[in-house]
Chain A
Amino acid sequence: MTQAMERRGADAPKVHSTQRTNRPWPVEFWSSAIGKKWVMAVTGLGLMGFVFAHMVGNLKMFLGAEEFDAYAESLKTLLYPIIPENGVLWMFRVGLIVMFGLHIASAYQLTRMNHRARPVKYQSPRDYIAANFAARTMRWTGIIVGLYLLFHLADLTWGWFQPDFVKADAYNNLVNSLSRPPVAAIYIVANIALGIHLFHGGWSMFQSLGLNSPRYNGARRAFAAGFAVVVAGMNVFFPIAVLTGIVSN
């Protein structure tokens, strides 16, 4: 191999080095960029499932405090008594943390690799044709969503920013939080970012996973757009509903 690399004209620097040793295949796969894109796609798919379920669960807020709190409570007793109380919830939590971790780790490593692949940028403005706003801002929408997630947990799970936070009083905590216009604004902005992220990610994962066929290629874009609009649209609607009094305590 080294001989091949040293050959005349091949003075291009290496930007990445795939593990070529005979390691277990998941390790080897992860070491390649395509492997990392698979990881991003699979974890992305898992996280899409989460945001969708989360959004559906939150629709309960329109049914009133009782329904909403019951839903929140029920999460703790999923599959109870087969599995101890909070067991499934913790499994979900661990799964989500792992997925977030892998998603972010791959994104970070690929971004670094891509920077190395073009150390000198174009010195004149680019004129993009296909790369849309969503695709070009994945990094930033991802960071916004990640920061928002931390804020969201601190605000509604741990209650750091709410003086009259009452654990297990999910409905009131939610309404109290979103009644504050700055917080509502954060929610709205972050969920728009989420929608933009999903618009590209929801399509891109099919490519990364190699799921393509002339029969349904057209539907991939439609799926991503529809998914992004439904999830982000509803999520943005929640704070608006609180602010406008459609939902109140």
Chain B
Amino acid sequence: MTKMLNLKLKVWRQDGPDDAGHFEDYSTTVADDASFLEMLDYVNEQLIADNREPIAFDHDCREGICGSCGLMINGQAHGPQKGTATCQLHMRKFNDGDHITIEPWRAAAFPIIKDLAVNRAAFDRIIESGGYITVNTGAAQDANETPVPKEAADAAMDAAACIGCGACVAACPNSAANLFTSAKIQHLNLLPQGQAERFGRTKAMVETMEDYFGSCTNYGECQEACPKEISVDFIAMMNRDYAKSMIVNRRRLGERKVG
């Protein structure tokens, strides 16, 4: 049966990228059937009724797949439920009288736009630098011409499940994006179709990542925060491919001098 929860919220408010920002306190009462974002919707409705500006936060599909939402809830990226994005977190995970602190993702690469919304364009830059297989539309052969071992397809799918929400960066004490980048790299590197560009891709994507993000020191916090429970094993695989990329591409170039 539906239970009503009285909550004390402490929410980060920041008027724009250059504003210093501060916490504001709100109290609200919501049903435990509500999702976390519905709770925020409700707070926003109350704020509007009081003629106060509603809280800005990114969200869209509310099915845990688009990766738009992402809040630091009581010090945990996406809150207390494992393998669950903020939009799929429901209030029944909280108790009556709880204090909830909500902060935006914080990283140099994710500048705050307003309140809880951040700019994650650095992720797009990583993909643009090599996160694809070069094949023009129409150039593909019949799909069954290239068999893919089921194990490889499954492992690639595990990596490809990444929703690009940025929780790994948010949770990482170093603001490293190694889980995101490794998932995107390994999704393609594990497939036969991705072999031709394997090492060039790895090198380009790692280097773009390092332009914006911190370094991985193997805390493992990213894996815990990931709503798709992507494994840090992919980081190890990326490290291996990156080291190989130092040698393999050069060997392919033979003895010729380039650049």
Contact = CB atoms under 8 A, between A and B. Distances in A.
B3 interface: no
Contact of A217 (B74, B103, B213, B233): B233
B103 A124 contact: yes
A181 to B, nearest CB: 36
B174 A118 contact: yes
Contacts of B224: 129-130
Interface in A1-50: 4-5, 7-18, 20-22, 25, 28-29, 32-38
A32 B217 contact: no
Nearest to B232: A207
- Chain A contact-residue range equals 35 or more
A180 interface: no
B93 interface: no
A110 B215 contact: yes
B218 A4 contact: no
Contacts of B199: none
A25 B119 contact: no
Interface string B9-41: 010100000000101000000000000000000
Contacts of B103: 122-124
B242 interface: yes
A70 interface: no
Contacts, number: 189
B46 interface: no
A96 to B, nearest CB: 23
A59 interface: no
A25 B250 contact: yes
B106 A29 contact: no
Q: Is the interface of B mostly helix, strand, loop or mixed?
A: mixed
Contacts of A126: 75-76, 173
Contacts of B174: 114, 117-118
Given A18-B210, A130-B221, A208-B239, A9 B215 contact: no
Q: Is the interface of A mostly helix, strand, loop or mixed?
A: loop
B129 A4 contact: yes
A32 B242 contact: yes
A156 B159 CA distance: 52
Interface stretch (B53-61, B120-128, B136-144, B188-196): B120-128
A43 B9 CA distance: 47
A210 B211 contact: no
Interface stretch (A72-80, A131-139, A157-165, A235-243): A131-139
A205 to B, nearest CB: 9
A148 to B, nearest CB: 22
A34 B237 CA distance: 12
A246 interface: no
Contacts of A200: 218
B154 to A, nearest CB: 13
A116 B258 CA distance: 33
A200 B129 CA distance: 33
Contacts of A118: 106-108, 174-175, 214
B236 interface: yes
Contacts of B218: 135, 200, 203-204, 207-208
Nearest to A14: B211
A117 B75 contact: no
Contacts of B242: 32, 34-35
Interface in B208-228: 210-221, 223-225
Contacts of A11: 111, 119, 121
A9 B215 CA distance: 22
B152 interface: no
Interface string B248-259: 001000000011
B72 A29 contact: no
A249 interface: no
A16 B206 CA distance: 12
B247 A22 contact: no
Nearest to B10: A124
Given A13-B212, A117-B175, A124-B103, 4 more contacts: A11-B119, A33-B215, A34-B242, A210-B239
28 contacts: A8-B121, A11-B119, A18-B210, A18-B211, A21-B259, A33-B214, A34-B206, A34-B210, A37-B217, A38-B239, A38-B243, A110-B215, A117-B175, A124-B23, A124-B72, A129-B224, A130-B220, A130-B223, A131-B219, A135-B220, A136-B173, A138-B217, A206-B236, A207-B236, A210-B240, A210-B243, A212-B237, A214-B233
Interface of A: 4-5, 7-18, 20-22, 25, 28-29, 32-38, 110, 113-114, 116-131, 135-136, 138, 200, 203-204, 206-212, 214, 217
